[in-house]
């Protein structure tokens, strides 16, 4: 599915709880397929090392694989590459391409996500043309070197005030999910727990079961 085609962003995001964010890797397509089989229902390709042309090649292949699986596919940082590869949308940070420009490039039907780390950024996001925000990282993480953790207090604020879906980031594992769900979080971004797994399908299934149980109990 290309940005702007098919169901609207809110419909495509409805019920999505487990969001995989992964860099490129030699077994990218097989890895993502195994994660999806285990319960991942949203995928982002985030690679800070590849140049634009090889990144586009990898994104095109992953976009096709995710479309076949019925899972929305998001490209990090680059709305131009998201458009070129037929992704469902783009995710940007506070210092990346502004969401308004992403919307102009991708159109009204694309999913546009925005990272937030503090209440001021959260409030500003309410006036941006974004379909979801991420909140965190709850704890410091190697994927965001130098950024301190927000702690769980910010998550509660984000869930209550964002006015759109909120995905929590930072240290998401089956062990941490119950505490996060207790403050109202129902959507989770996972990186290291799956990218470092020897059995990503089994671990994705384990994480998804923890999420579903915790969200139901909250």
Where does the pLDDT of residue 191 fall: very low under 50, low under 70, confident under 90, or very high at 90 and above? very high
Q: Are the C-beta atoms of residues 114 and 136 closer than 8 Å to each other?
A: no
Q: Residue 3: what pLDDT?
A: 57
> Each residue of 106-131: b (16+ CB within 10 Å) or e?
beebbbbbbbbbeeebbeebeebebb
Q: What is the CATH number of domain 9-217?
A: 3.20.20.70
d(CA 161, CA 50): 36
pLDDT at 134 over 60: yes
Indicate the pTM of the whole model.
0.94
Q: Is 52 in contact with 81 (CB distance < 8 Å)?
A: yes
Summarised one tens digit per residue, pLDDT across range 28-83 is 999 999 999 999 999 999 999 999 999 999 999 999 999 999 999 999 999 999 99
4 pLDDT above the threshold of 60? no
Domain boundaries defined on the chain: 9-217
152 pLDDT higher than 90: no
User: Which two three-digit tokens encode residue 59?
Assistant: 């994104």
Report the DSSP beta bridge partners of residue 44. Answer: 21, 74
Question: Which pLDDT value is given to residue 16?
Answer: 98
Q: DSSP H helical segments within the chain, as ranges?
A: 9-13, 28-38, 52-69, 79-85, 99-106, 119-125, 152-161, 177-182, 192-195, 200-217
Phi-psi sector, 164: left (phi>0), alpha (psi -120 to 50), beta: beta
- Is the Cβ–Cβ distance between 158 and 187 less than 8 Å? no
Phi-psi sector, 166: left (phi>0), alpha (psi -120 to 50), beta: beta
Q: Give residue-wise pLDDT tens across range 156-171.
A: 999 999 999 999 999 9
- The answer on pLDDT for 85 being more than 80 is yes
Least confident of 74-88, 114-128, 141-155, 163-177: 141-155
Across the chain, what does the average pLDDT equal?
94
Query: In degrees rounded to 5, what are phi and psi of residue 211?
Result: -65, -50
SS3 label, residue 200: helix
**Percent of the chain topping pLDDT 90:** 89
pLDDT at residue 5 greater than cutoff 70: no
């Amino acid at each position: 599915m290309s940005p702007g085609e098919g169901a609207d962003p809110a419909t495509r995001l409805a019920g999505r709880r487990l969001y995989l964010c992964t860099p490129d890797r030699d077994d990218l397509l097989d890895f993502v397929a195994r994660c999806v089989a285990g319960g991942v229902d949203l995928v982002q390709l985030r690679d800070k090392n590849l140049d634009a042309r090889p990144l586009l090649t990898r994104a095109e292949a992953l976009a096709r694989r995710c479309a076949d699986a019925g899972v929305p596919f998001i490209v990090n940082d680059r709305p131009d590459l998201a458009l070129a590869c037929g992704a469902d949308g783009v995710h940007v940070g506070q210092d990346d391409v502004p969401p308004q420009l992403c919307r102009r490039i991708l159109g009204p039907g694309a999913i546009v996500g925005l990272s937030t780390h503090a209440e001021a950024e959260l409030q500003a996001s309410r006036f941006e043309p974004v379909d979801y925000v991420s909140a965190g990282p709850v704890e410091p993480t190697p994927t965001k070197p130098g950024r301190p953790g927000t702690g769980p207090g910010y998550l509660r604020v984000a869930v209550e005030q964002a006015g759109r879906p909120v995905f929590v980031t930072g240290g998401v594992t089956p062990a941490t999910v119950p505490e996060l769900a207790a403050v109202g979080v129902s959507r989770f971004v996972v990186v290291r727990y799956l990218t470092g797994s020897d059995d990503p399908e089994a671990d994705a299934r384990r994480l998804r079961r923890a999420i579903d149980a915790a969200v139901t109990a909250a």
